[in-house]
A and B are shown apart, each in its own frame.
Chain A
Amino acid sequence: MIATRVIDALKAIVGAENVATDRQELLCYGYDATQMEFLPDAVVHPGTPEEIAAILKLANAERFPVFPRGAGSGFTGGALPKGGGVVLVTTRLNRILRIDSENLVAEVEPGVVTEQFQLAVERLGLFYPPDPASLKFSTLGGNVAENAGGPRAVKYGVTRDFVMGLEVVLPTGEIIRTGGETYKGVVGYDLTRLLVGSEGTLGVITKIIFKLLPLPEAKKTMLTIFDSIDGAARAVSTIIGNKIIPTTLEFMDHATLQCVDRRFNLGLPATARAVLLIEVDGDPELIEKQAARIHEAVKPLGLVEFKVAKDAAEAEQLWKVRRLVSPSLRDVNPTKYNEDIVVPRSRVPDVIRKIDAIATRYGIPIVNFGHAGDGNIHVNVMIDREIAGMEEKAHGAIEEIFRAALELGGTMSGEHGVGLAKQPYIPLELSPVQIATMQAVKRALDPNNILNPGKMFPA
């Protein structure tokens, strides 16, 4: 429990209207998309970096934990106040400070919603590619802290690849800037890279300088249906082998297609075993040629159907299959563990086969879809908590899935991060020395273990 004098001090910093202690409100800042829940002692909504600095100084003096939070849409519990403490919400810092068309950079505050930023730069003919599925509601601060990815990563990279500089409040309350707005810059350690993906354990991000690109003139969307998972997988390597890097290469396996079809009756061909949703962007003539070359390249690979969207409305129709995946999954089982392993893209069929075997062995439905272009597969372990023992079994299956990804040269998580959900599995991927090195950094920056404690590393 936090002392009344601390609550009063917080109110003095941010104003009473920006401190919540009602149980109802605390509850509303104690969850995220993992469905875990922890009750904080207070929620604060600071409006400036200076207020955040003052909160962290107070936290060090009074020794209470602080949990930074954006939209609370994370999949690993990164923003959850486990053990109690103060949730620090950054969504009041929500201005786009500038968009510089000449230097192709923009500076924003962390509470800006990803899609709002994308629309703002696109109005100026510019482009911010990272597109996590949550982009309509997730914040850029959260995207940076988790190093969010998305379907377009196969061509453009992830959030990390667009962050040039940051303003950060350190766990001890000092405000620093890292990086800058020049493409080149080699003075000192690259703290920007260290902070991107640090999951709110090393600092509270208060400003972000993003790199921008010119907005591609056009894009073309194709839906390709294959009679085998191998055909789809070979299509991925064949397309890239043909020196075409699509913007997106989204993949859905047989179990996923069955789910969607059962629920929404899309009338997919009976022989459909895997679907690739492919998008290319750029010069209109070039992408026309690329679409034709892609069609030629995938024809011999057990192609059942090849659809090209003629316009935006048709493209939206093709995307429908992919967008309907999440709502259909509940029909399999009410609860999903949404893992996001990555393997080198050529190993996608191998890992799918291994996952299918794990599903059979554990008797738990597992549905796979995701970003085949960069080997990032969303593995959905579907369980029913009401069935005794199923949750425990799922944990076993998940560990085996992680091991399979690692054996194939991959990683446990491509997008979602570690937070609380993957914490127990960290030693599978990182050696004791790696973990100790990271913890040394954490201790150096946060000697009192104030900021987002109890996350990422095993207790």
Chain B
Amino acid sequence: MDPLKRVENELKKCVKCGACRAHCPAFAALQREPAVARGKVAVAQHILKGDIALDDQTYEVMSKCLLCGSCVEKCPNEVPTDEIVITAREALARKRGLTTFHRAVARVIKNRKMMSFGALAATILGPLLFRKVPQTSGLRLRFPLPFVGNRRHIPQIARTPFMDRHPEVIQGEPGKPRVVYFVGCMTNFVYTGVGEATLALFRHLGCTVIIPKEQQCCGLPGMSGGDLETVRTLAEKNLAALEKYDADYVMTACATCGGALHKFYPALIGKRHPELAERIGKIAAKTVDAAQLLQKLGLHPAETGAGEALKITYHDPCHLRTRAITRQPRELLAGAPGVELVEMEGADKCCGLGGTFNVYHYDTSLAINEGKSVAIEKSGAEAVVTGCPGCMMQLSDGLKQRGNRTRVMHTLEVLARSLR
């Protein structure tokens, strides 16, 4: 079946009104119609009609989307352009094969054993990391990637991944919620401090925290390349890992992973694999963002978040904003003693990372990010705080490129300041 057939009805909903031109970050940077949702929908419509080929130009058009969902939120006709673009990428990948990069992504994220420091560095983070890998390194020979950039500043990779430091079950108080923690690659391998803060906060509330050892990458890096087979493989493994424990919640402190479990698994995998739909639906219904859950469980930031005076501003990750999680993190942060929360201009605008968008369109990604960096600077905050490790990496990179030393922190790191 032609993948785009699945979204035929969705494609018909677009009336080309142009509202997406006001909200698309890629369009704001590129100013050309093929970059905006309406243009991609038009191209997809014509692929279905059969008068546009799945060629290089089509690939180029479909690659210029951050999957941020801004257009979907604002579309008067609720056209799911993110889903349409992923589906078009799926069609392209089937016709043309995956790109070198996405083949490497698939190889790594599907193989638990390869999820080690070296493999992760060489693939998902490879293009970002290679400036730290010597020219002569074997990693470069193993993955001769044409798009490797050497300009990006990237954070340190943890020597010991977060999950290797903790047992699978951390018993809490009886009667308190049982929370399954979906960690995510960025937290496990890079921002391990986010994991520690998450653990500390839920333990503080007496929750039993379960970190299933069998959990995998959520698959979003594969999804963004249209590699839905890889996403399905991972989704199945993740479902098994998360179902194993009869928990009250599936919690994640990564907006992107949350978006995968809560939105993209049902929308993309559930629809393609009806036999998985019910299980996906159950996990999706249990999936909550960490800040959302902490507030629900009655966390008092006054007890956990006290620390030195810190002026912060909050950046909305796309995959929290599109799930209407904007208020909770702000309320918690504002309640932490010593913290002064100021709003920056355009806090709800995409940071420009866009899954693997930044790998193919690094300059555009940085151009989108620049507005964000300027807004952070203008806010006068000492730290920019957000709920997604992906955004954290992009925000750090953007700020460092400008020689700005504003700290980048996760919401939970601020909330756990006095628990260390």
Contacts and interface: CB of A to CB of B under 8 A. Distances in A.
A, B in one complex: yes
Interface of A: 22-25, 27-29, 31-33, 35, 37, 45, 71-73, 91-92, 113, 115, 134, 136-138, 326-327, 330, 334-336
Contacts of A22: 57
Contacts of B33: 25, 28-29, 72
A385 to B, nearest CB: 9
Main SS class of interface, B? helix
Nearest to B15: A35
Interface string B50-81: 01100001101100000000000000111000
Main SS class of interface, A? loop
A289 to B, nearest CB: 35
Nearest to B43: A24
Given A25-B32, A28-B33, A29-B33, A327 B17 contact: no
Contacts of A136: 19, 22
14 contacts: A24-B34, A25-B34, A28-B42, A31-B38, A32-B18, A33-B15, A33-B17, A71-B21, A73-B18, A115-B22, A136-B22, A326-B77, A330-B13, A336-B15
A137 B16 contact: no
Interface string B14-48: 01111111100000000111100011001100100
Contacts of B39: 27-28
Given A72-B33, A327-B77, A27 B16 contact: no
Given A326-B76, A327-B78, A334-B12, A28 B21 contact: no
Interface of B: 12-13, 15-22, 31-34, 38-39, 42-43, 46, 51-52, 57-58, 60-61, 76-78
Contacts of B15: 33, 35, 335-336
Contacts of B38: 28, 31
Contacts of A28: 32-34, 38-39, 42-43
Nearest to A23: B52
Contact of B16 (A35, A92, A326, A330): A35
A27 B58 CA distance: 12
A137 B34 contact: no
Given A33-B15, A73-B17, A73-B18, A27 B76 contact: no
Contacts of B34: 24-25, 28
B133 to A, nearest CB: 34
A115 B18 CA distance: 14
A97 to B, nearest CB: 19
Given A24-B58, A73-B21, 8 more contacts: A22-B57, A24-B61, A25-B32, A25-B33, A27-B43, A27-B46, A28-B43, A29-B33
A24 B33 CA distance: 10
A10 B326 CA distance: 48
A304 B264 CA distance: 45
A33 B12 contact: no
Contacts of B60: 24
A24 B52 contact: yes
Given A24-B61, A92-B31, A137 B22 contact: yes
A156 B57 CA distance: 46
A137 B21 contact: yes
Given A24-B34, A334-B12, A137 B19 contact: yes
B398 to A, nearest CB: 23
Nearest to B75: A327
Contacts of B42: 27-28, 31, 37
User: 6 tightest CB-CB pairs across the interface, nearest first?
Assistant: A73-B18, A136-B22, A28-B33, A28-B39, A137-B21, A137-B22
Contacts of A330: 13, 77
Contact of B18 (A29, A33, A327, A336): A33
A23 B34 CA distance: 11
Nearest to A328: B76
Given A24-B61, A92-B31, A72 B18 contact: yes
A330 B34 CA distance: 25
A24 B45 CA distance: 11
